[in-house]
């Protein structure tokens, strides 16, 4: 909201705010202020929040008559009590605090209670020309931020949301991450300040990550919004080799990723418009994040179909409180040296869930051919050494085995997807290769992992359209039968999480 036009100023009468964008939708490069808020992502949030708008496609029409332009309503839901700060960043980089505001000055919110901004009664948020892409960013903190002084965020003389400086936004983000807003004075990027604080004060950084949560979405204002043609984009990750030589190499994970990408290509049964493949050295944690949180987000829109496939090792590590476990996937540069290095270099389940949040509004399918039990030692004790070399899982040094009967997760991401659903997030459909009480295997006599082999075969030979649930129903018995036959005394049962998107995404249209 670079400029705000006040249409009505009488107390008690609805106040209309015109959201002003940039001249074109296709900005060559996001403004610096966009980067500030995106770099402020909490990678390991203790709770989730969700920001959303009232247009499912997040596209708003701008009319030559401002009064006929679309009105936007914003909602925020948090899993936890806290203090909400809600910002709009326009295509030119101007930042506006839209909550708290003069109409809604109290930013203390309750868990699971929907907060509405621009309800059409007292505050109206109306889009306006010029048009472009804008960011809506919500931050919820356990305690009020000192740098976010109400006098700096709310204009007591005007009813409109207040434009704030990029410098103030930086201080707010840095205080949320580190607790010390003054660290923003260095002028370094948010990422650099965060990483330096994390290295110097690891314990405090862990504590701070439990003190705030955030979420952002992108909206588009247009003079003539056209109906979007659904786009199909997939990211296929397979990691067989690892930088940490204590991690046992796999034989098939990189082949799994390529085979899945091939079957999903435009000319294949999946008919995906774009497929990306990251294997071995290319599948670093930062590169995977870049593809999920930037490339997939930038190249798709709400309503598009996105598939994320991962084949490789899975594991588990102690949670921050040390009383439970977090599950993780192992990228090429993951390290098993210590529990701290694992939390720093592996893709934790809660981090993956936060990344998937950035694809909110898309029809997301996640396919995971990894060990979802994590530390699989206790589960593999009855297996021969020959069998163990086919298991896709790792143990973290010093972690005691958690008894299998204590697991309540069905699979990696199960708890996180349930939590996201609880705050209204469109649930991603997840197909996992085994339950949390089982391990996943590579084939003994084929060049693929067990579940991947049967998925590729089923999709290739099916004569009809397929949802992810159809694929699950088509392969689950075959996977379990193969494992029972080739790995006597064990089972591998794929599991599927229902999604709430209607109509569901199609693996094969």
Q: What is the pLDDT of residues 52-88, one digit of tens each?
A: 999 999 999 989 898 899 999 999 999 999 999 999 9
Q: Please state, in angstroms and as integers, the Cα–Cα distance from residue 334 to each residue in 44, 235, 241, 318, following that order.
A: 16, 19, 11, 16
Clarify whether residues 218 and 236 are in a common domain. no
Q: Is pLDDT at 6 greater than 50 in this prediction?
A: no
Q: Which residue, 263, 255, 224, 226, is CA-closest to 239?
A: 255
- Residue with the two structure tokens 């994040």: 289
Q: How confident is the model at residue 121 (pLDDT cuts 50, 70, 90)?
A: confident
- State which of 195, 222, 249 marks the end of a domain: 222
State the total domains in the chain: 2
Clarify whether residues 356 and 467 are in a common domain. yes
Better-predicted residue by pLDDT, 91 or 429? 429
- State which of 164, 190, 222 marks the end of a domain: 222
> Would residue 5 count as lying in a domain?
no
Clarify whether residues 211 and 270 are in a common domain. no
User: Averaged over 188-202, what is the pLDDT?
Assistant: 92
Clarify whether residues 196 and 266 are in a common domain. no
> Would residue 199 count as lying in a domain?
yes
Clarify whether residues 212 and 253 are in a common domain. no
Clarify whether residues 273 and 139 are in a common domain. no
> Would residue 4 count as lying in a domain?
no
Please tell me the predicted confidence (pLDDT) of residue 372: 73
Using CA atoms, how far apart are residues 491 and 438, in angstroms rounded to an integer?
7
> Would residue 329 count as lying in a domain?
yes
pTM, rounded to two decimals: 0.89
Please tell me the predicted confidence (pLDDT) of residue 232: 97
> Would residue 146 count as lying in a domain?
yes
User: Averaged over 475-502, what is the pLDDT?
Assistant: 90
Domain that holds residue 384: 232-508
> Would residue 159 count as lying in a domain?
yes
Clarify whether residues 379 and 412 are in a common domain. yes
- State which of 222, 246, 269 marks the end of a domain: 222
> Would residue 227 count as lying in a domain?
no
Q: How confident is the model at residue 423 (pLDDT cuts 50, 70, 90)?
A: confident
Q: What is the CATH number of the domain that holds 63?
A: 2.60.40.2550
Clarify whether residues 157 and 283 are in a common domain. no
Q: Is pLDDT at 288 greater than 70 in this prediction?
A: yes
> Would residue 66 count as lying in a domain?
yes
Q: Is pLDDT at 115 greater than 60 in this prediction?
A: yes
Clarify whether residues 324 and 216 are in a common domain. no
Clarify whether residues 373 and 258 are in a common domain. yes
Q: What is the CATH number of the domain that holds 457?
A: 3.40.50.1460
DSSP per-residue letters across 58-118: -EEE--SSGGGSPEE-EEEEESS-EEEEEEEE-TT--EEEEES-SSS---EE-TTPPEEES
DSSP annotation of 345 reads H
Average pLDDT across the chain, whole number: 87
Clarify whether residues 478 and 373 are in a common domain. yes
Clarify whether residues 115 and 253 are in a common domain. no
């Amino acid at each position: 909201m670079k400029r705000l036009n006040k249409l009505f100023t009488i107390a008690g009468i609805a106040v209309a705010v015109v959201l002003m964008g940039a001249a074109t939708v296709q900005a060559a490069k996001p403004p610096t202020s966009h980067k500030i808020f995106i770099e402020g992502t909490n990678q390991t949030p203790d709770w989730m929040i969700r920001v959303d708008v009232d247009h499912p496609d997040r596209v708003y029409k701008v009319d030559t008559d401002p009064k006929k332009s679309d009105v936007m309503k914003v909602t925020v839901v948090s899993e936890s009590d806290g203090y909400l700060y809600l910002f709009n960043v326009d295509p030119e980089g101007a930042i506006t605090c839209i909550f708290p505001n003069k109409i809604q000055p109290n930013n203390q919110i309750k868990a699971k209670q929907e907060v509405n901004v621009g309800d059409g009664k007292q505050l109206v948020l109306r889009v306006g020309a010029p048009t472009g892409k804008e960011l809506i960013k919500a931050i919820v903190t356990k305690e009020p931020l000192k740098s976010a002084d109400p006098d700096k965020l709310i204009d007591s003389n005007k009813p409109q949301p207040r434009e704030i400086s990029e410098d103030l936004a930086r201080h707010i983000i840095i205080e949320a991450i580190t607790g010390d807003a003054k660290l923003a004075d260095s002028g370094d990027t948010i990422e650099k300040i965060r990483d330096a604080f994390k290295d110097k004060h690891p314990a405090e950084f862990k504590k701070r990550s439990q003190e705030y949560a955030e979420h952002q979405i992108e909206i588009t204002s247009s003079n003539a919004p056209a109906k979007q043609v659904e786009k199909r984009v997939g990211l296929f990750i397979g990691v067989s080799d690892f930088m940490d030589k204590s991690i046992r190499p796999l034989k098939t994970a990189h082949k799994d990723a390529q085979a899945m990408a091939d079957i999903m290509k435009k000319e294949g049964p999946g008919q995906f418009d774009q497929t990306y493949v990251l294997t071995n050295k290319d599948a670093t944690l930062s590169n995977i994040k870049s593809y999920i949180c930037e490339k997939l987000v930038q190249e798709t829109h709400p309503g598009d179909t996105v598939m994320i496939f991962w084949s490789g090792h899975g594991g588990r590590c102690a949670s921050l409180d040390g009383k439970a476990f977090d599950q993780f996937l192992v990228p090429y540069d993951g390290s098993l040296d210590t529990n701290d290095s694992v939390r720093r270099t592996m893709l934790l389940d809660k981090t993956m869930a936060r990344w998937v949040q950035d694809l909110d509004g898309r029809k997301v399918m996640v396919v995971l051919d990894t060990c979802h039990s994590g530390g699989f030692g206790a589960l593999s004790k009855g297996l021969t050494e020959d069998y163990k070399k086919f298991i896709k899982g790792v143990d973290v040094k010093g972690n005691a085995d958690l008894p299998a009967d204590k697991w309540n997760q069905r699979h990696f991401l199960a708890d996180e997807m349930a939590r996201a659903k609880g705050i209204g997030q469109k649930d991603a459909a997840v197909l996992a290769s085994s339950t949390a009480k089982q391990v996943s295997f590579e084939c003994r006599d084929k060049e693929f992992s067990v579940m991947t082999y049967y998925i590729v075969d089923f999709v290739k030979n099916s004569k009809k359209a397929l949802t992810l649930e159809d694929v699950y129903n088509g392969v689950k018995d075959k996977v379990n039968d193969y494992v029972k036959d080739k790995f006597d005394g064990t089972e591998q049962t794929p599991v599927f999480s229902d999604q709430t998107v209607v109509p569901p995404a199609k693996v094969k249209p």
